[in-house]
Amino acid sequence: LFTESSDLLGDQGEMMGKHIVGSALATWAKDDPMGALEWVRKNGETHPELVNDETKASLLSGVASKDPALAFELLGKLYGKADSDSEIQSASAISRITGAARTPEERTATLAALRAYAATLQDPKQRQRIIDRGLESLAFGGGYRNTGFESTTTWLDSANLTPKELDAATQNIGHTVRLADTGRWIEWLGGSGLPEEGANQRIHRLAAEWTREDYQAAGQWLATAPDSTAKQTAVQAYAQTVFPYEPDIAVQWANTLPAGKTRQQTFEAIHKSMPRNSDAEKAAAEAFATEHGIEKP
């Protein structure tokens, strides 16, 4: 009925139609995946304005919530071979499939299905891209949005991910975690088993973003967090980020770092960001460099 009347609704109706069709397909596919697939095949050519890549992905998301292995099987039926021109669309669908997992058990089952699907791909680079996309969504897709930090870290800690897989799962962590969870994620990253450089990069991004969004909350967490390498990286990010607005606070925090590379890099970054528009500002920057042993370039 909706497909028969959709042309009467105009552009706004078309947008609404895509949403309605996508939601309906996701629900339908949970209980009757083959029936939903047949509907898409039947209406895809006659109503391309409604049956597009997004609605197909919605169908796969619904299937994946019950049977992730079947969802990956249907992926090829909807998008063709994964090494065809549909790679971008199918990569987006991968995120919808893996993002449908909620509990640690569902995530583990979906990870097994993802690995099995990736093993069928001929191109090793594409295989890795698919794995990376899926892992990121497994960690920070619907499971994280619906269950939060504890469920996600329980799964990450028990999933036996390789270092390379853990790197992929957390690659964009700075753009996905809830602000209120940032402190706990910083602590978790510090003990996650990621290589130190990768862990520190993620911690720095998280702390810098937290400082930009709510420097008072970030500062309160730093004041109570136990000392660790992760905290020192967060202090570095905090001091560098807050300096343009609260220079005294930035320097105070930088001074809490133990003598060494991280502390010196922090002072150098602060010095580099100091204004030099007037003679007084230039003199202040020069005095800061002298005080903290920063050599002239």
pTM score of the predicted model: 0.83
Mean of the per-residue pLDDT values of the chain: 88
For the chain, give every domain's residue range: 1-171, 175-297
> pLDDT, tens digit, for every residue of 53-91?
888 888 999 999 999 999 999 988 887 655 445 565 677
User: Which range (54-68, 77-91, 188-202, 259-273) has the least confidence?
Assistant: 77-91
Residues 42-55 have pLDDT tens digits of: 887 777 777 788 88
- Quote the tokens at residue 264: 């010196």
